[in-house]
């Protein structure tokens, strides 16, 4: 169980702070709920979710060593590419929902590489791929930045440099 004030990764909302833990009765069932808000949301959205919610991913933040291991992922070659954009989108969406940071980092690495290739050929990355890349990159790089006490931009620069050095 998490505590008030903890930073967690909450599904596709990204990094959230737990503001409160309280009891609520919904449909006649009383449970403990986390009250949390995404750090990236400027409008102060509040999310209420049962403590025992097994339908969404709630993860502790990475520690410094785990974050550095994920950065190293960007040295690796891209994952196998599926040319069917619908299947690719389904794969990436499912992957993001698992919360498996290593695999998400591999997907971000792959999409960053595809974006670089497309740019060299004066093309754009397919819109769905671009949207997924932005979502996954935002969540992953923000977490890495917090874990390593740096910025999103610095993490992006590190990942981009590793990709260019290992092409």
Q: Is residue 50's pLDDT more than 80? A: yes
Burial zone of 94 (CB within 10 Å; 0-12 exposed, 13-18 middle, 19+ buried)? exposed
pLDDT of residue 42: 60
Going from N- to C-terminal start, the domains of the chain cover: 7-60, 64-165
User: What is the third-level CATH fold of 7-60?
Assistant: Thrombin, subunit H (2.40.10)
Contacts of 5 (CB under 8 A, 6+ apart): 17, 18
pLDDT in tens, 3-16: 999 999 987 788 99
pLDDT at 44: 77
Edge-to-edge strands of the sheet including 14-26?
Answer: 47-50, 29-38, 14-26, 7-10, 58-60
Report whether pLDDT(45) > 90.
Answer: no
| Cα angle 85, 129, 121; round to 5 | 95
70 neighbors 98 (Cβ within 8 angstroms): no
pTM for the whole thing?
Answer: 0.87
CATH level 2 (architecture), domain 64-165: Up-down Bundle (1.20)
Pairing of strands 47-50, 7-10: unpaired
């Amino acid at each position: 169980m998490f505590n008030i004030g903890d930073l967690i990764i909450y599904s596709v909302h990204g990094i959230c702070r737990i503001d409160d833990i309280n009891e609520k009765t919904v449909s006649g069932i009383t449970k403990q709920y986390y009250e949390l808000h995404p750090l990236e949301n400027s409008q102060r959205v509040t999310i209420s979710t049962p403590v025992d919610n097994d339908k969404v991913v709630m993860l502790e933040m990475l520690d410094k060593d785990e974050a550095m291991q994920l950065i190293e992922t960007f040295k690796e070659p891209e994952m196998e590419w599926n040319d069917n954009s619908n299947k690719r989108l389904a794969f990436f969406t499912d992957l993001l929902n698992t919360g498996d940071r290593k695999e998400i980092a591999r997907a971000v690495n792959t999409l960053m590489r595809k974006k670089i290739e497309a740019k060299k050929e004066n093309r754009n990355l397919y819109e769905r791929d671009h949207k997924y890349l932005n979502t996954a990159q935002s969540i992953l790089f923000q977490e890495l930045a917090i874990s390593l006490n740096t910025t999103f931009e610095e993490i992006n620069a590190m990942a981009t440099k590793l990709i260019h050095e290992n092409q």
